[in-house]
Amino acid sequence: MESFPGKGCMSHEGEELRRLKRENNRLGMTGHIKKSHSYLLGGQAMRYKFIKEYREAFPIVLMCELLEVGKSGFYAWLSREEISRVLENKRLLIEIKLIHGESRET
């Protein structure tokens, strides 16, 4: 497609440049994630924690692909983590109330 100033059309070179800039950006993210990958070989849970920590900085799909974990597995782990936190909070509340009661509510 020919490029004409003011017509909003992009030349083949312009389209290719745009595609290459996107790919370059993706590769930059990939390099950063790959550097961290060696520290994450301890297991899936560590990889999921990494994804959770960096989900604002990098696309989740890209991190899952590079760290060789499933996106659905990450989201399942994330929901289990939140559920276990809620259960732990309830357990702590019961324990606090018990201790408070034993201390004659002082």
Segment 48-64 mean pLDDT: 91
CA atoms within 13 A on the CB side of 80: 9
Task: Please tell me the distance from the alpha carbon of residue 90 to that of residue 100, in angstroms, as a whole number.
Answer: 15
Task: Please tell me the distance from the alpha carbon of residue 106 to that of residue 30, in angstroms, as a whole number.
Answer: 56
User: How does pLDDT run across 25-51, given as a tens digit for each residue?
Assistant: 766 665 655 555 555 556 888 889 889
Helix, strand, or coil here: 4?
Answer: coil
Which contacts (CB < 8 Å, 24+ apart) does range 80-89 have?
A: none
Residue 52's pLDDT is 92
| Paired tokens of 60 | 């989740």
| Paired tokens of 70 | 């499933």
Quote the pTM value.
Answer: 0.48
Q: Which residue has the higher pLDDT, 71 or 20?
A: 71
Beta strands in 1-106 (DSSP E): none
